[in-house]
Structure 1
């Protein structure tokens, strides 16, 4: 069958701007996800927005016929897109100051599998039921260079991700990435090894940032180059828990991909379902390693 003159094959045609149907575009509004051409793009903290979503956010209501303003991942648009990032940095700094003021608390916060190691019988550690260490270790730092690097990375990566995902989705990504890094460390590291730091969660943000930039058709080379440099340090510098970095990166890639690519008609179900699945994996890994050590 011949194609009618003036029409285009639907399967291969690029999306067209919803305001200018004659203009093809590969960019979408980060709030309503509609295709927009260069004349309709309004720069935002992450990506571009369409004129209707910008007007809807600036006023008290929404423009006629426009979708309710949402983040790229379907979250609620917040007045302060970095609030959760600021709170996370604040918690890390508070714990750091606590450790400096009372060094004895450090032993109760770090991630330790089992101490002393089997067969003498562990008296403390995750294997002894102290699962809280998977969480507290994510917010604990001892060296100033360690917390400085992690907090700078959190600020640089966290703000754009929080704006793109929304607060709840962003916090889920951060916490589950950190837990995944801790669980892999618990599984693969020596039982008496102690580890600490937000690196697992930060590497999760690295993974999600790469996915987000790919989704927005941004140049991936800067973030990939930075990630490669960090991975080189991970595997070449002594004393770094590479398991936490790898576990966090994997979780960030998986959760980040689902957050920005989930089908809109059941977006929340898919997003939080995958988050629950990742948590189940963390619990399963922790139970498996506990059974090996006890």
Structure 2
């Protein structure tokens, strides 16, 4: 039993640099594909090469270095995070300039169910009215989203963010008062939190700081006098955790299919919940 558990933990660990066995790494030589740490990376025309290939002129097949999930390693590992923050800030500024626009973007169950305004499930994820709201979400996304984007890769990270945001909208649509409204990127941000917890466990890091941060954010809607909806938080957190687990633990030739397939499955649940709530209201 102990040997089986040890083998499982070893299977889930990052590979170690072939020249420094005590250093875990998610980067590989573009020529021989052996794992290399940052001290062993030598810049090449495309990606990085290991010292052995540079010295010996290895003719092994070349490929771009990959992240933990199999995505290509890129120079700007926070590009998508910057774009997402920029979009949220741009919508916030537009709402300040055109206050009436919020009525068209907010998640309003009556509008979705009776008027067929399905777009509100998406637009509400990028909408904020208060400065503190956009500031907290942007700060959290920058601090937690950046490292997650580096680990997942751009497209996987973007897919997780968007599907988590929709999952938050779906749970809000299902459980909130039909005549109330909700907006904010909290569902998507909590999806990033959920996936980051999976990443930290995958790398065998201390989970306590993330758990404390998560608990504090989950407790905010419970404070007296607040109007923060907990539904989007929970929906995004569950979706992000499930998708993050699939992306970080998928293996084999079908890894990419399993990773994006998890997004499709969660999206299918989102659609099912949305149709169920619509049937209830109408």
Is contact 1:178–1:200 with CA below 8 Å preserved after alignment?
Answer: yes
- Does the C-alpha gap of structure 1 residues 127 and 247 become closer, same or farther in structure 2, counting only changes over 3 Å? farther
- Structure 1 residue runs without a partner (length 5+): 1-8, 43-49, 115-123
Is contact 2:17–2:24 with CA below 8 Å preserved after alignment?
Answer: no
> Is 1:179 matched with 2:166?
yes
User: Which residue is equivalent to 2:255?
Assistant: 267
Matches within 5 A, 1:48-63: 51=40, 54-55=41-42, 58-61=43-46, 63=49
> Is 1:199 matched with 2:186?
yes
> Could you say which structure has the higher helix fraction?
2
Structure 1 runs (4+) deviating above 6 angstroms are 33-36
Among candidates 83, 88, 91, match of residue 87 of structure 1: 83
Shift of 1:164: 0.8
Deviations along 1:95-122, whole A, 9 cap, x unmatched? 11111101011100000100xxxxxxxx
Higher gyration radius (CA): 1
TM-score, with length taken from structure 1: 0.81
Is contact 2:16–2:25 with CA below 8 Å preserved after alignment?
Answer: no
Among candidates 89, 95, 98, match of residue 102 of structure 1: 98
Which secondary structure state, in structure 2, belongs to the residue aligned with residue 195 of structure 1? coil
User: Which residue is equivalent to 1:287?
Assistant: 275
- Does the C-alpha gap of structure 1 residues 282 and 223 become closer, same or farther in structure 2, counting only changes over 3 Å? same
**1:87 & 1:18 partners in 2: Cα distance?**
33
User: Which residue is equivalent to 1:251?
Assistant: 239
User: Which residue is equivalent to 2:69?
Assistant: 73
- Structure 2 residue runs without a partner (length 5+): 50-57
User: Which residue is equivalent to 1:3?
Assistant: none
- Does the C-alpha gap of structure 1 residues 109 and 259 become closer, same or farther in structure 2, counting only changes over 3 Å? same
Is contact 1:89–1:154 with CA below 8 Å preserved after alignment?
Answer: yes
Give the CA RMSD over aligned residues. Answer: 2.5
Is contact 1:32–1:67 with CA below 8 Å preserved after alignment?
Answer: no
Shift of 1:235: 3.0
